[in-house]
Structure 1
Amino acid sequence: MLLGHNCKPPRPALGAQVVVTGWEAPLARAVAGGVSKVVGTAVLRGVKSRRLKKYLEETDITQPDLPVDLSDALVPQVNQFVSSPELENLALSIASILLLDPAAKASGERFRDLREGFRWTCRLTFIGRPDEINRLGEALFDRVYEAVTRSIAVGQAVSTPHASIAAQAAVMKAASSAAAASVRNTKLLSRIEKLDEILSFEKSLRTQIASLHNGIRVPHTDTTKKVSYSKLFVQPTLRRIEEDEAENERDVNVNVLLLSTLRLIILGDPGGGKSTTSLKLTYDVASGRRSPLSATVPFLVVLRDYAKEYSKSRMPLIEYLAQLCRTPYSVEPPEDAIEYLLLNGRALVVFDGLDELLDVADRRQIVEIVEGFCYRYPTTPVLVTSRRVGYEEAPLDKDLFTVAQLQEFDDDQVETYARKWFSLDGSIPKPHREERATSFLRESELVKDLRVNPLMLSLMCSIYASENYIPTNRPEVYEKCALVLFDRWDRHRGIVAPLSFDAHVQSAMRALALWLYSKQEKQGGIPRKEIISFMKEYLLKKRFDNEEDAENAATEFVDFCKGRAWVLTDVGADLYWFTHRTFLEYFAASQLVRQHPSARDLFAELQDTIFRTQSDVVCQLAVQILGRTVEDGADDFLELAVDASHSASEEHRVSALSFASRSLRFVVPRSGVVRKIVEASFDIYVTSRPALGTSRVFRGIANSESIPVRNLLGASRENIPLISKYLQERADARLSTALDERCLALMLLTPSFYDDFGYWTEWAVDNWERMDSVIQRAQVQYWWIALEKAQRTGDFKSLVTQHGVGSLFQSVVINELPRIPLAAERFIFPQSHKQDLVANLAALDHFLTTNAAPWCYEDDMPWPLSAFVSDELRVIDQVSEREGRSVLVKLALPFMELPIKMNPDSLFRGDFIGGTDHPLLHLARGRVKKSESQKVNELIRSLDVSADTADLLRDWARNRVSLVGPSRRARS
């Protein structure tokens, strides 16, 4: 019987003792919640995180009862406690320590401080006799330790083939500080007399947070209007970014990722929904609704506000959290309350807007503070948001944080949002709202790439609702959106601007935006008097002839702006800043073009900025606005950028070409300009030589010299035909004189460089056919070309003849993403192409036998044993021909040997390998323990392989030969 909140335990006779039973389900949830964050981050980079916690919950990782007798009064307390954040936090801490020392015992030195802290937790939590509570604490700790150990084994057993053992570094740094955190927590708990005051504070704070963040503001309507999240919010999609995965996880949301990682950074574009997602998560946790976390209190830290406070007083982050409780939430934190919440699994900290710290030095300082916070509170979940562009200038430690990119809305999300938006539009009669949404979706297809941004989508809905059409030019859409924000909605609400919009308000806003944009060091807010002073000087030049009139108009204008949350936001005592950076950048770019109306003048103004790769959005918008207002303006600007790159330093050259190539997403210049951009981008890519030709790995596309080429592949559809033509011409010219590995990689492996596989996949296929004579020569020199050709033709005999058996186990890495399958994998895990591959097995047998071991390269083997020793291993038994089965066995041995070298004990944990019983597994065990090798001959006979394979297996099982070693190139 489950003893839970809705199930009362039977009452025994007075004075009797009861044994707690039926509590394994809530315990499993608590343990799964803690372990999945550690295992999911450190070991299972390739596992589908959305399934991990559920899998652990459904797996038998607990024991049926708690081996301690308890009084009647303690039973319901235990049942409640097993679902608490404190217990999940204990599981997380134990899992972190086990990462550092897998052999650590529950009674050992590693767990001394953690165990002592948990004793204090029990004393503060349970009401009963001290001796009974102590026994209960010891029993609970031991049972959680057992459950964590079992669940880690289960989690490793369900990892995907491409999970990297090296990824354990992702939490090792923070896990190493778990012991120090345990010591601090023990001291903290020992001086707390009662938890009542802290828990009362927590309840009040949660209520205040949930009340303040209980809805979403519609960005284009009455700025005071809020609607519930369910009426407008659309959950965005995140894509996890991992360097060591063959395939990044797709189609997940923040709730799913927080199930399997402790620290997450969300990167996104302006207006992409980063802050809204943070607010929604904050509300969900505070209200207890649909939260993925056991944490109960969310601390939302707007980093521009904290950075401002830090610059003034060097306020520690923990003190700032206390200040947040007071303002804006009006709750006074008791002594040690926040420390308790952070150390005991009850807090989530959200750091919003890392990108809003425009000064890179300031951003790096805040990054260090955030990382230091993670070390000090290693079990506290942390979420950070930042713009994607510019993040790498001051990134968070990749070993501490899982990085996810906020994806643009897909068609379904666009439709869901649009229909929700129009259902809220009171200006449209209810019977016509669905019809208006449908027509908007149809007509906005013309600017489909713009509506994928949530902010732009909302404003486009507003434009369509009032004007019934959508502009097709990007700056024009910004302009229309600005018109909606600054004029139409005010008129709709009966508000009259103090200045005529057409004559002065728009130009004044442009000037103000550019002035504010230049004040990067004051991004935390500009005093009202400074803004009025600037506008006064501006209006004296533009409209008024006396200072009093100009100052009055400037005051009216600032009051007009600050009364609209979508223009200027109050960020402090009489301090203001642009609410939406998107519009700050648009107006700043527009003003730049007004001040520098020719391509030459504008490029002279922006050249240094482009060379330093700063303010990319402003520069891109300025080029597009110039193209709209001046004949050939954008074309001439891009030509100037390419010409200037030729005489610049290499760093500045890369920056200029990156800008020019990225501009081809939005600008369609004349063919001569496209040719110049393509040729210059191609040349800088092929002339950079970071160890190509001497390594199995192509790092080129991840290097800065390759960014222009990658940008070309993401150009607009109108530009792509010319780009592909000029790339082919440039490549043909270079290959006509000599083989060039980087050039070949670009022409033949293009789909790996860019996510849009459609056009470029066909282009690469065409190049394989068109460049056949070049490929014939290149495959002798470059093993990866021979491998690619073998993958396409199924002729692996030529590959092994030219490059040895080791080439079957090598992988090509483009953009740090392994290209799969390996040649050996295609044999061992055949699917639709099984028949063709089996026909090649006999042909390979001779080469596998005669080529000297070791066959494979240790750094090329990303698979743990648990991934291989599973149902796929049975494929060997499904091949009827002895020769084919012999080859499969030989190819399988290196996949088994490398994990054995890394973790030999894993062979003897049935739960780790899923209980697979196969002759090869028993032979592998024989390599580790001689006692397991007594039935070698019997096991080999059961495999029914050729004589030479049997001899190899016999030597391999007795550890006389190794098939795993350093790469051939390294040895040479």
Structure 2
Amino acid sequence: MDPLIGGVLGRAIGSMVIGTAKKMGNARSQAVHSPEIIGDQTLEIEGEIEAIATEGQILQIEEFLKGPEVARLTKSYCIARIACPREVIKIVEEKSALGFASLTEDWCKQNSAEWASLHEPLWHLLTTAINRSLPTQSALGEIPTEEKEKILTFGGSALLQGESTYAPPFLREIVDAAHDVDRLAYLGGLVSDIQRAMQNYYTEMRIEHAQDEYRIGFENLYVDRDVANTASGERFEADRLIIGSPAGSRIVVTGDPGVGKSTFVRHLINQVSHLDTPDDRVAPLLFLCRQYQPTREDTVLSLLARFLSVELSLEVSEKDLSALLSLGRTLVIFDGVDEIIDIPQRRAFIARIQAFGHRFPLATILATARRVGYKKASFSRPFQNYELAEFTQPQIADYVERWFQITRRTELEKSHFLRDLESISDISPNPLMLSLLCTLYRTRGYIPTNRRDVYRDCADLLFRRWDSMRQIETPFDHRQYGARLMQELALFYYRSAAAQRGVEERQLENVISRFFQDTSVVEPEAARQRAHDFLEFCADRAWLLTARGTSERNQRLFSFTHRTFNEYYAAEGLVRRANTVEEVVSEVVGAFESDPSSVLPDVIVQCAEEKFDNGAANIVDRLIGLSTGPLRRYRYLSLCLRLLNSSPIRQTVVDRVFAHLNDGLSAASQDAFTGDALGAILELYRDPRSRFERVALEGYNSPPAGTKTEWTLGENFVALWCRGFFLGQTALFEEDWNPIYRTIATSVSQKLLTSNNLAVTNLLIRDRLHTIEDHIQKFRSGGLFIHYINDYPYGGAVLGSYIRLVLQGNLTNEENDAALLSYVDRSIGSVRIYGEIGYDLRKLLIAAVSNSSRRTTNDRFPALSRWFCALLWEGSEKECVEEFLRPIFFGTETFDSFLRMAATRTSVSNVKRFEPTISRFSNSELDSLSSTYGSWSSSWCRGKKLLPQRIR
């Protein structure tokens, strides 16, 4: 037997009691496809009856499995599954199965038992239960090799006894579970319990704005979604974020309001809850961030345990939950991080989530947040950011098809609805808005064309009209004061950050009672009773305000069903109370300062447009004025751009916004300003987008008063686009905006020849609007090789246009190659390059050196020797240097010398790459190399790395 395998399998690591076959059969870990003993009659594996066992044999099997020999074997199997390399595990499994068969045969002989032939299904039973609970193969790959070696060396006993204090807690918990197969079976059962409970919790989707008999299977209405990597723009199916992804992934999903982040989370939970293969089984754990209470000293672990207890009626101890997390058998979701309104509190909670992730590195963690304002409180690496995309046209059609089938509408109605959607194409891709539009169309036969009108009509439908359409009597106060009361309540929620987590009914009754007394001359006692009746009606029937849980004082907690309706009613109330446009502007500023991601400023402006003549234009005009002071310079520019989408605004004001934008872009030195400005521009709807393109193409030959720019809007936009392109900020918008960028860039390309902006130069070269010859000075200085964009946390070095052209096979002339070689010669040892850029640099290195070397000699290009140094360093660890160098210098003294240099270096580095026949340089020869190849050569041959190690 292999010494390693023998050591693992033969090592006795203390006593352990293994669960009996009967216990395994009844354990909660046994899901539909798991092997189990059915009663005391059949032994069944994956639905196939393997053998018949009598009751007496079952008792004998139980006694056998309790024995110390089986305990030692099973324990050793667990340790090996955790710590051995994958190729060794296969041997371990085979040897363990043979060992179990031998133990079974010996025991049956000694006890005159006649079930030795059951050894195979019995072993399958045990190992399947173990494998369903231990970390998955992808999770085990995340455990450092040195930690695995400790487990193999000490069998985990040192970790459990505290002798290896530097072993992380999660690893100690894994080893602890591996020493008790009974506990492993219990933890596996816990995964199944949580999965089943979550299946029931999210098995149905209720259309909250449809008739209450519509309770449908979740997946019957759910439309598969797409996400996009915010850095690269790569778009793919959203399910791939979790299904089949490595254990321990760290994911943030951002998106606009109503884009369906919470619905997507429910879908993921539903999908994960049905995974049952050993490598896929995880327990989905959810925390709704709106329930976060910073005053409580709760750990993240206790928050998750409370959700299981309160929402699923599952009592799971924090110790057991910690074990599941350590084993990597969990998907932990934090939904709605942005709903922690207070920014410092949100940042503190995010820090706790990240600390939680460090504590449980094998647990997969996903968080959701609104896209706007995310940078103010964001996750740091290793969390990767993805954006949940709005519906595409095929997805809109898919959703409409499903909705109209479920609600039993005709094909003709569906066709008319899809036709009417074309008039509001800016709104319909939003899933919430599309769902509301479906409901409005069903009840009214038409759909509004304004976001505020959609909110108003939907709120009216949900709050007042639905019961009346079905001849159900509604209370007088509900009919008479419903809208006003909802505005008062929405303002109460808006004014109090703590109210976002839910408000006790007694508090809301006081607000409603005060309204009745102040506006309707209702006596206090009657007002309190009517307030109570109103809340009762909301709890039982209304869809806008609903009761969700109870407080610690056993008071029902009320909240709005969706933040959108809270913001709509708050906007209506704020504008109703305002007497002047200036007061409305103050509320818009306050709402924006409080939460830039909120749609409240947009809806306030739309409400004001109806109350005041030219209200929207006047508000935007005053916001521009507020953005010109020394303390608030350009502070509300992104908001002004956003408000161009909210209501029709006269052209003079729109052009003033673009002039103010141009002034800001010319003067901007803050990356945050340019990033926000680009995002706001790219979000422009069709009409303001068309006006922007025209103004950018015409330029400002006679700019409005106050404009201090020398560049036109077109030139500034191209510079902003180029910067955003290299930061990955334009990828999601290229379908609409790339043609506009190319049109504008073509019109201003000649003026941009003098620009010192390397992002502009590099992208215009890439897009063939400029050539390298147009920028030869920047090329010789290295600016077209690698350039830097400072924008935390997304900035850093990016590939210049020369590298991109080389990688596309478009090599330039010898002069340009020489300039590039000279730049690299100066940069070796000082330029730090990461990730894919390092890989591309190496490809460029090979291409450029090969190209130059075939045309010239080292005397012509003195920098070439250090290029070869870099290649040899890479080659000594990645590929055969001889194979690379031979086509370039075959049969020359240079080739032999470099080959000996590489052989000398690899011998020092203990890398076996060269045949012993290749002679190494002696110490004296090394000392003389510098006169021939430069001062770098002797130290490099002795093992020094002249390029940063992380270039790979």
Give TM-score scaled by structure 2 length: 0.73
Quick check: 1:893–1:963 contact (8 Å CA) kept in 2? no
Q: CA deviation at 1:711?
A: 1.4
Give distance in 2, aligned partners of 1:548 and 1:118: 67
Quick check: 2:485–2:512 contact (8 Å CA) kept in 1? yes
Give distance in 1, aligned partners of 2:538 and 2:711: 63
Quick check: 2:627–2:637 contact (8 Å CA) kept in 1? yes
1:810 pairs, out of 765, 783, 786, with 786
Q: CA deviation at 1:608?
A: 3.9
Which letter does structure 2 place at the counterpart of 1:180?
P
SS at match of 2:286: strand
Give distance in 2, aligned partners of 1:203 and 1:538: 50
SS at match of 1:95: coil
Go from structure 1 to structure 2 and tell me whether the alpha carbon gap of 1:877 and 1:292 turns closer, same or farther (over 3 Å shift): farther
Give distance in 1, aligned partners of 2:625 and 2:389: 35
Quick check: 2:567–2:599 contact (8 Å CA) kept in 1? yes
Residue-pair matches, total: 809
Alignment of 1:139-178 (within 5 A): none
Give distance in 2, aligned partners of 1:459 and 1:609: 25
Quick check: 1:114–1:183 contact (8 Å CA) kept in 2? no
2:643 pairs, out of 663, 668, 682, with 663
Q: CA deviation at 1:381?
A: 1.5
Q: CA deviation at 1:621?
A: 0.9
Quick check: 1:273–1:455 contact (8 Å CA) kept in 2? yes
Give the equivalent residue in structure 1 for 2:99: 70
Higher relative contact order (CA 8 A, sep 6+): 1
Correspondence 1:745 to 2:719: yes
Which letter does structure 1 place at the counterpart of 2:528?
E
Quick check: 1:662–1:711 contact (8 Å CA) kept in 2? yes
Give distance in 1, aligned partners of 2:215 and 2:857: 67
Residues 863-913 of structure 1 show CA distances to partners (whole Å, capped at 9, x for unaligned) of: 37767889x9998999999549999x9999999976986x88742699xxx
Go from structure 1 to structure 2 and tell me whether the alpha carbon gap of 1:105 and 1:527 turns closer, same or farther (over 3 Å shift): closer
Give the equivalent residue in structure 2 for 1:592: 574
Go from structure 1 to structure 2 and tell me whether the alpha carbon gap of 1:532 and 1:61 turns closer, same or farther (over 3 Å shift): same
Alignment of 1:304-323 (within 5 A): 304-305=290-291, 307-308=292-293, 311-312=295-296, 314-323=297-306
Quick check: 1:685–1:709 contact (8 Å CA) kept in 2? no
Alignment of 1:570-649 (within 5 A): 570-573=547-550, 574-611=556-593, 613=595, 616-647=598-629, 649=631
Alignment of 1:84-123 (within 5 A): 84-88=132-136, 92-98=139-145, 104=146, 106-107=148-149, 109=150, 115-116=156-157
Correspondence 1:467 to 2:444: yes
Quick check: 1:181–1:376 contact (8 Å CA) kept in 2? yes
2:285 pairs, out of 299, 312, 316, with 299
Residues 627-651 of structure 1 show CA distances to partners (whole Å, capped at 9, x for unaligned) of: 23322101111111111222251xx
Farther off after superposition, 444-453 or 72-81:
72-81
Quick check: 2:224–2:237 contact (8 Å CA) kept in 1? no
Correspondence 1:863 to 2:836: yes
Give distance in 1, aligned partners of 2:783 and 2:568: 52
1:344 pairs, out of 327, 331, 334, with 327
Correspondence 1:441 to 2:418: yes
Farther off after superposition, 405-414 or 671-680:
671-680
Residues 422-455 of structure 1 show CA distances to partners (whole Å, capped at 9, x for unaligned) of: 11114x3xxx2x3322321221121122222222
Go from structure 1 to structure 2 and tell me whether the alpha carbon gap of 1:193 and 1:766 turns closer, same or farther (over 3 Å shift): closer
1:229 pairs, out of 215, 218, 222, with 218
Correspondence 1:685 to 2:654: no
Give the equivalent residue in structure 2 for 1:248: 233
Which letter does structure 2 place at the counterpart of 1:662?
R
1:382 pairs, out of 337, 350, 365, with 365
Go from structure 1 to structure 2 and tell me whether the alpha carbon gap of 1:852 and 1:250 turns closer, same or farther (over 3 Å shift): closer
Q: CA deviation at 1:601?
A: 2.1
Quick check: 1:750–1:760 contact (8 Å CA) kept in 2? no
Go from structure 1 to structure 2 and tell me whether the alpha carbon gap of 1:927 and 1:415 turns closer, same or farther (over 3 Å shift): farther
Alignment of 1:501-540 (within 5 A): 503-540=480-517
Correspondence 1:283 to 2:290: no
Give the equivalent residue in structure 2 for 1:393: 376
Residues 478-497 of structure 1 show CA distances to partners (whole Å, capped at 9, x for unaligned) of: 11111221233223444322
SS at match of 2:782: helix
Quick check: 2:821–2:864 contact (8 Å CA) kept in 1? no
Give the equivalent residue in structure 2 for 1:704: 673
Give distance in 1, aligned partners of 2:88 and 2:701: 58
Quick check: 1:877–1:885 contact (8 Å CA) kept in 2? no
Q: CA deviation at 1:540?
A: 3.0
Which letter does structure 1 place at the counterpart of 2:628?
H
Give the equivalent residue in structure 2 for 1:674: 654
Give distance in 1, aligned partners of 2:753 and 2:273: 64
Which letter does structure 1 place at the counterpart of 2:505?
R
Quick check: 1:654–1:705 contact (8 Å CA) kept in 2? no
2:343 pairs, out of 360, 363, 367, with 360
Correspondence 1:268 to 2:255: yes
Farther off after superposition, 550-559 or 791-800:
791-800
Larger CA Rg, structure 1 vs 2: 2
Farther off after superposition, 760-769 or 354-363:
760-769
Go from structure 1 to structure 2 and tell me whether the alpha carbon gap of 1:87 and 1:424 turns closer, same or farther (over 3 Å shift): same
Go from structure 1 to structure 2 and tell me whether the alpha carbon gap of 1:178 and 1:345 turns closer, same or farther (over 3 Å shift): farther
SS at match of 2:270: helix
SS at match of 2:378: coil
Residues 231-265 of structure 1 show CA distances to partners (whole Å, capped at 9, x for unaligned) of: 111122222234xxxx2331231443460452222
Quick check: 1:927–1:958 contact (8 Å CA) kept in 2? no
Quick check: 1:31–1:92 contact (8 Å CA) kept in 2? no
Go from structure 1 to structure 2 and tell me whether the alpha carbon gap of 1:895 and 1:363 turns closer, same or farther (over 3 Å shift): farther
Correspondence 1:543 to 2:532: no
Go from structure 1 to structure 2 and tell me whether the alpha carbon gap of 1:219 and 1:93 turns closer, same or farther (over 3 Å shift): same
Residues 176-217 of structure 1 show CA distances to partners (whole Å, capped at 9, x for unaligned) of: 997232134445665886445444454444333322221211
Go from structure 1 to structure 2 and tell me whether the alpha carbon gap of 1:366 and 1:471 turns closer, same or farther (over 3 Å shift): same
Residues 640-690 of structure 1 show CA distances to partners (whole Å, capped at 9, x for unaligned) of: 1111222251xx444322211221232332223223322333333332335
Give the equivalent residue in structure 2 for 1:454: 431
Quick check: 2:254–2:386 contact (8 Å CA) kept in 1? yes
Give the equivalent residue in structure 2 for 1:491: 468
Q: CA deviation at 1:408?
A: 0.9
Give distance in 1, aligned partners of 2:226 and 2:660: 36
Give distance in 2, aligned partners of 1:855 and 1:275: 49
Give distance in 1, aligned partners of 2:561 and 2:760: 52
Go from structure 1 to structure 2 and tell me whether the alpha carbon gap of 1:805 and 1:320 turns closer, same or farther (over 3 Å shift): closer
SS at match of 2:413: helix
Q: CA deviation at 1:745?
A: 2.1
1:719 pairs, out of 682, 688, 706, with 688
Which letter does structure 2 place at the counterpart of 1:350?
I
Go from structure 1 to structure 2 and tell me whether the alpha carbon gap of 1:859 and 1:798 turns closer, same or farther (over 3 Å shift): farther
Give distance in 2, aligned partners of 1:416 and 1:722: 33
Give the equivalent residue in structure 2 for 1:214: 203
SS at match of 1:71: helix
Q: CA deviation at 1:71?
A: 2.3
Go from structure 1 to structure 2 and tell me whether the alpha carbon gap of 1:500 and 1:743 turns closer, same or farther (over 3 Å shift): closer
Go from structure 1 to structure 2 and tell me whether the alpha carbon gap of 1:926 and 1:418 turns closer, same or farther (over 3 Å shift): farther
Quick check: 2:326–2:363 contact (8 Å CA) kept in 1? yes
Residues 569-596 of structure 1 show CA distances to partners (whole Å, capped at 9, x for unaligned) of: 3233222111111101011111111111
